[in-house]
Structure 1
């Protein structure tokens, strides 16, 4: 996994996401989820390309049920964009890299 991706927990979510200085793309995922596995290399590419501009954070919903419940995660992968501690965008399901980049660019 890229050094530019943070794996956060229920305990660290607010610090890693809501208090971040950069916009944050949060990936709610699980190890058993096929589309989650498929989107992982796309997120690694984006983490490299947007280093210093966007932080990418992953939340394993099985190990961090409070964060998943807090944000009403019902399907995975679900990706949220947070900016200044507020959720500003949501993407559900496997999306191509170009679509994710377009969403990120809107919030830079």
Structure 2
């Protein structure tokens, strides 16, 4: 299983996110977003820590307007947890390590 964060685009979203067996954490970010730079190491941590039961992908919002609109991303950084083509949970704005881990634990342990 991959232990890294995979970069995806609108064109790859269905294959990489919607048709995978694992829950997927989608990290929406932007190159101009300062808070996104704070979140990136935490997203990498989540990809490593939960590699056995979670796929982690990141999507830059500006070149991918279709998915951004579909998942109603209004600000970055933003997280969407998706499993079996359904949105399990979402978060917008910077969150710390403890909050990110409890966000994931809560939803991954209930499945």
Name the TM tier (shorter chain). over 0.9
Does 2:98 correspond to 1:91?
A: no
Q: Deviations over 1:19-78 (max 9, x none)?
A: 111111111110110111110001111111111211111010111111111212111111
Higher helix share: 2
Aligned pairs (5 A) from 1:43-62? 43-62=43-62
Instruction: Supply the RMSD in Å over aligned alpha carbons.
Output: 1.4
- Given that residues 28 and 59 in structure 2 are in contact (C-alpha distance below 8 angstroms), is that contact kept between their aligned partners in structure 1? yes
Runs of 5+ in structure 2 lacking a partner? none
Tell me how far 1:3 sits from its aligned partner. 5.2
Match of 2:65 in 1: 65
Show structure 1 runs of 4+ deviating over 4 A. none
1:4 lines up with 2:4 in the alignment? yes
Q: CA deviation at 1:100?
A: 1.0
- Counterparts of 1:12 and 1:66, CA distance in 2: 12
- Once the two structures are TM-superposed, the CA of residue 107 in structure 1 deviates from its matched residue by 2.1
TM-score (norm. length: structure 1): 0.92
Q: Any unmatched runs of 5+ in structure 1?
A: none
Question: How many residues are treated as equivalent by the alignment?
Answer: 107
